[in-house]
Amino acid sequence: MRSWSIPVGRLFGVDVRIHLTFFLLPMFVFWTDYVAHQNGANGSRDLALVGIILIFVSAHECGHILAARRFGMVAKAVILLPLTGVTLYDESRLEKAHEKPRAPVLLWQREIRLALIGPLVNLALGCLSAAVVSGMGRGGDLWKWPFLQAGNLPKSVVWANLYLAVLNLMPAYPLDGGRILRAYFSRTMDASAATRRAVSISNAIAMVLMIAGLFSDSWLTMVGVIVFSAAQLEERALVFQSVLDNVRLEEVMLTDFATLSPADTLEDALEKAVHSLQDDFPVVRGSDMVGVISKQRILDALRAEGNGYVQAVMNKIFEVSVRQDSLGSAFRKLTARNSSIIPVVEDQRLIGIVTLQNLMHSMALLAESRKLRRDESES
């Protein structure tokens, strides 16, 4: 998901990235300008129009970020697309927000308020700029077609905002209208089913727009392409999230693994490591977990200080999980401690390990197998 977007800066402390489809916009604006004026397009005005759209998409997202903050949610990143943005929230902080909501509103009501704020920002800015343009004595111009054109930038400011407000209210997920639709569905079904239904409606709308655009205004095709790519973006994030939340560690932990003893010498440990696929090892004394150590740490210690005991170089501070913990919580523990292994214990006995290495593998596999099961149950 991230590889399709590039970082451009920060807004209110949130990482802002531009999705690659955004670069369709300058090409598209230039092309329509070129077709409209046989004498050639004006490159700098075209760029200015793209800049205007970018600014007001950002303003729209600022509305969402600030509103989310009021609900105690923390935005992690914003991905800007040509007509909309997708705000990703920090899930670990979100859980805390669930525990202690600042405003006593239901989840689906919160979603709807959060979605409405973006189009409202654009509507307000559109009206404001219309008033300014009218004040400059050019109000009559405002209602002449084409509304959005590089040749008349003040008018484009007004209409860019009005278009953004209206387009984002389309019931095509993840546009705001689609989020409202999903919130409505989620009153009677679980979150991932509601999202799937919203995404399929969204894909149908995208298809209709793309085809309609071929026979009328090509902007429609452009909108269709964007809606489609935005929906894929969310769908993938969702599959990932549902795997993180719904998979228990017992489903993915390695139960067949090698352990080391604190009394092992580093050379013995390296010898064992060579014969195992593992990069990380639990260190066990009798039936007690006493530490963790990585292949790399063994190598580094051998190089730096020569042979010694595992006891001396192992990491004695580590997190443990139980088999019912979610994959998401294991992931957070791993990243918080910057470690690469989590022992899974039961009655203080080591029953499995989860490592970063096997997590990546198993997540991809699980996402696939869930999708297969889902397709089967739907057909």
Binding stretches for Zn ion (CB under 5 A):
118, 168, 176
Q: What's at 156, amino acid-wise?
A: S
Residue 258: closest CA among 270, 244, 246 = 270
Please, which residue, 168 or 242, has the CB nearer to Zn ion? 168
Instruction: Provide the 8-state DSSP code for 78.
Output: E
Of 63 and 328, the one with the shorter C-beta distance to Zn ion is: 63
Which residue's CB is nearer to Zn ion, number 176 or number 234? 176
Residue 173 φ/ψ, nearest 5 degrees: -65, 140
Which residue lies nearest Zn ion, judged by its C-beta? 118
CA distance 371 to 379: 12
In the complex with Zn ion, the residue whose CB is nearer, 5 or 329, is: 5
Nearest approach in angstroms of CB 159 to Zn ion is: 18
CA dist 293 and 31 (Å) reads: 59
| Residue length of the chain | 379
The least CB distance from residue 60 to Zn ion, in Å, is 5
Contact 125, 161 (CB under 8 A): yes
Q: Tokens 């919580």, residue? A: 329
Of 328, 334, 325, 324, nearest to 356 by C-alpha is: 334
**Structure tokens, 196:** 């799937």
**Nearest distance, CB of residue 355 and Zn ion, angstroms:** 39
Nearer Cβ to Zn ion (118/328): 118
Q: C-beta of 72: minimal distance to Zn ion in Å?
A: 19
Distance of CA 278 to the CA centre of its chain: 30
CB–CB of 282/305 below 8 Å?
no
118 vs 343, beta carbon nearer Zn ion:
118
CB 278 to Zn ion: min, Å? 45
CA 27 centroid distance within chain: 26
175 or 191, CB closer to Zn ion?
175
> What's the token pair of residue 361?
């593998």
> Residue 76 CB, nearest distance to Zn ion (Å)?
16
Nearer to Zn ion, 111 or 280 (CB): 111
Q: What are residue 264's phi and psi, to 5 degrees?
A: -65, 145
The sign of the CA dihedral 215, 220, 225, 227 is negative
Work out how close the CB of 150 gets to Zn ion at its nearest, in angstroms, rounded to a whole number: 25
Q: Least distance to Zn ion from the beta carbon of 67, Å? A: 10
